[in-house]
């Protein structure tokens, strides 16, 4: 991490830590970065003295919460949701700061045959050969649906699609045998037991989805929230993000 970035992050945290009273920052977040953030948040809290009150929800659910005017300080999520919310005035324009990107992976049940998905052509063949397929309705799911359209197999996949339950990762659908193949962001597949990850989406089928923070119009802790935003781009946070399957910015 460049010294200039370390100095900025340290300066932001020391400024807040020296304040007379710790602040609480209310964050609403989509589920993909959850595994990383549950480790990053305590580190920030110890370094700053501030409290992060963070809640997680599936992308479509969080989208509607923000549209309905949920109160808080920060929204964390992919550009798929942040961009329309900003255009609608539900997030503060110009406030988005990206801190990581996340790509999708392909998984089968542990012990099951492992189809070759190393090229777009082989991936397409594996999808057509599978009796059941699962993907989410979140940011990666929106991309995957467009990808199937592009491959010309959207109708075939729709006929054998097994949707996860509300708030459920695709990996669990695969682990219990309800779907032969599952596709979701790698950060959401990695924590799931009972699956084997075949690899990332191949070639130009992959899209690295940017994740970032945006200020909610109702925020009462904008300056303090900026210190948490800065911490998400620190070396400490980057190491955790990478370990959990995201590429830090």
pLDDT tens for residues 119-136? 999 999 999 999 999 998
Model confidence at 19, pLDDT cuts 50, 70, 90, reads very low
The answer as to CATH 2.70.210.12 being correct for domain 3-102+208-248 is no
In the sheet with 24-30, reading across from the earlier edge strand, the strands are: 51-57, 24-30, 74-78, 209-215, 97-102, 247-248
Each residue of 32-51: pLDDT tens digit?
999 999 999 999 999 999 99
Q: Give the pLDDT score at 20.
A: 43
Domain ranges across the chain = 3-102+208-248, 104-205
- Say whether 126 sits in a helix, a strand or coil: helix
Sign, CA dihedral 67-71-77-79, equals: positive
Nearest-angstrom CA–CA distance, 77 and 198? 26
Q: Give the pLDDT score at 16.
A: 44
Are 73 and 25 in contact, with CB atoms under 8 Å apart? Answer: yes
Pairing of strands 24-30, 209-215: unpaired
Q: Give the pLDDT score at 139.
A: 81
One CATH from 3.40.50.300, 3.30.420.40, 3.40.50.2300, 3.40.190.10 for 104-205: 3.40.190.10
Model confidence at 15, pLDDT cuts 50, 70, 90, reads very low
Buried b (16+ CB within 10 A) or exposed e, 109-137: beeeeebebeebeebbebbeebeebbbbb
Name which residue leads in pLDDT, 179 or 2: 179
- Looking up tokens 């955790």 gives 240
Model confidence at 22, pLDDT cuts 50, 70, 90, reads confident
Nearest-angstrom CA–CA distance, 194 and 204? 28
- Rounded percentage of the chain residues whose pLDDT exceeds 70: 92
As a whole number, mean pLDDT of residues 129-148 equals 92
Domains 3-102+208-248 and 104-205 share a fold: yes
Q: Give the pLDDT score at 13.
A: 53
Q: Give the pLDDT score at 141.
A: 87
pTM over the 0.75 mark: yes
As a whole number, mean pLDDT of residues 161-181 equals 94
Are 16 and 61 in contact, with CB atoms under 8 Å apart? Answer: no
Lowest mean pLDDT among 6-10, 97-101, 163-167: 6-10
Structure tokens at 89: 């005035």
Nearest-angstrom CA–CA distance, 164 and 144? 15
As a whole number, mean pLDDT of residues 185-190 equals 93
């Amino acid at each position: 991490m460049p010294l200039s970035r370390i100095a900025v992050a340290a300066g932001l945290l020391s400024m807040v830590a020296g304040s007379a009273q710790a602040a609480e920052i209310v964050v609403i977040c989509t589920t993909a970065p959850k595994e990383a953030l549950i480790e990053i948040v305590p580190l920030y809290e110890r370094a700053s003295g501030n409290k992060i009150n963070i809640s997680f929800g599936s992308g479509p659910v969080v989208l509607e919460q923000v549209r309905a005017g949920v109160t808080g300080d920060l929204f964390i999520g992919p550009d798929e949701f942040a961009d329309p919310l900003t255009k609608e005035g539900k997030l503060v324009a110009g406030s988005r700061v990206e801190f990581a990107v996340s790509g999708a992976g392909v998984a089968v049940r542990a012990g099951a045959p492992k189809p070759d998905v190393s090229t777009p052509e082989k991936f397409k063949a594996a999808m057509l050969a599978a009796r059941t397929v699962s993907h989410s309705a979140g940011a990666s799911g929106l991309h995957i649906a467009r990808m199937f359209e592009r491959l010309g197999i959207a109708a075939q996949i729709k006929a054998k699609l097994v949707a996860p339950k509300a708030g459920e990762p695709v990996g669990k659908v695969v682990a219990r045998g309800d779907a032969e193949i599952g596709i979701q962001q790698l950060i959401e597949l990695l924590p799931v037991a009972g699956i084997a990850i075949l690899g990332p989406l191949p070639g130009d089928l992959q899209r690295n989805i940017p994740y970032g923070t945006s200020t909610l119009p109702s925020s009462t802790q904008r300056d303090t929230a900026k210190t948490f935003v800065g911490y998400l781009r620190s070396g400490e946070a980057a190491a955790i993000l990478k370990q959990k399957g995201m590429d830090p910015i």
